[in-house]
Amino acid sequence: MNEILKQIKNRKSVRVFEDKEIPSEVKQEILNAAFEAPTAGCMMLYSIFDITDENQKKKLSVTCDNQPFIAKAPMVLVFLADYQRWYDSFCFEECDIRKPGQGDILLAYADAIIAAQNTVIAAESLGIGSCYIGDILENCEVVRELLELPDYVIPAAMVVYGYPTESQKKRKKPVRFEKEYIVFENKYHRLSKEENKKMHSKRNEKSGLADNNINEYIRKFCKRKYMSDFSLEMDRSAAEYLKKFK
């Protein structure tokens, strides 16, 4: 297995970092990796905020579901799906144009996430851990004001980076679902109830979960994640952001 595949395989979310700064040249290499990512029509439909202000980091740690480790991270980047830049370009040249739509922002969202993932793999190769913070999509009004976001920009992801502690290095990576439930040939296969339960059961067995009551596991997971307050808030905020994209 080559080094890149090894890094992809070994990479896991890190939420506890050493009290150690990331050197500026290393930070720049991580950022540079984003610019090499695939991008729709070479438009680079994303912007990146380098959050260096400590107060701003603290505020984001609160708006992002009260997660203190965000404020302690040595490096925090916010990846934005950004159609404002190109829309402004068209307006400046007085093109006969429409307002950005939902397809445009989905394309920009893909660009932003692909760029973010490039930085995550680059960081891993440099011995730096990372963690995606999907909660950046919550609290639309507060985040929009805090980051001074214009109409056609939506936060796609926040990623925190730092040197992992020894305990984080040793922590086992969560088990993924098996390939047969994820990869389909040519067309979608909707899992039956039995297949669905087997999918969860296999993963839970590999994860070493003592309680393999799949029915109860799914019910608890639904309550803890899908029906949680933060998930409902994220859904509300996403709808608010998308109002601009008709």
Per-residue model confidence (pLDDT) at position 190 = 98
Asked, for residue 222, whether it belongs to a domain, the answer is no
% of the chain exceeding 70 in pLDDT: 99
Per-residue model confidence (pLDDT) at position 140 = 98
Asked if pLDDT for residue 246 goes beyond 90, the answer is no
Structurally, the chain folds into a number of domains equal to 1
Per-residue model confidence (pLDDT) at position 98 = 96
Asked, for residue 15, whether it belongs to a domain, the answer is yes
- CA nearest to 55, candidates 71, 68, 70, 74: 71
Asked, for residue 61, whether it belongs to a domain, the answer is yes
pLDDT digits 0-9 by tens, 191-245: 999 999 999 999 998 887 755 689 999 999 999 999 999 999 999 999 999 999 9
Asked, for residue 40, whether it belongs to a domain, the answer is yes
- CA nearest to 14, candidates 242, 168, 233: 168
Per-residue model confidence (pLDDT) at position 210 = 58
Domain range for 31 is 3-172
pTM: 0.95
Asked, for residue 205, whether it belongs to a domain, the answer is no
Reported as a pLDDT band with limits 50, 70 and 90, residue 185 is very high
Asked, for residue 88, whether it belongs to a domain, the answer is yes
| Residues 160-183, mean pLDDT to the nearest whole number | 96
CATH number at residue 113: 3.40.109.10
Per-residue model confidence (pLDDT) at position 42 = 97
Asked, for residue 241, whether it belongs to a domain, the answer is no
| Residues 34-40, mean pLDDT to the nearest whole number | 98
Which residues, in sequence order, are CB contacts of 1 under 8 Å at separation 6+? 9
Asked, for residue 243, whether it belongs to a domain, the answer is no
Asked if pLDDT for residue 73 goes beyond 70, the answer is yes
| Lateral strand order in the sheet of 46-50 | 46-50, 75-82, 153-162, 129-133
pLDDT digits 0-9 by tens, 94-141: 999 999 999 999 999 999 999 999 999 999 999 999 999 999 999 999
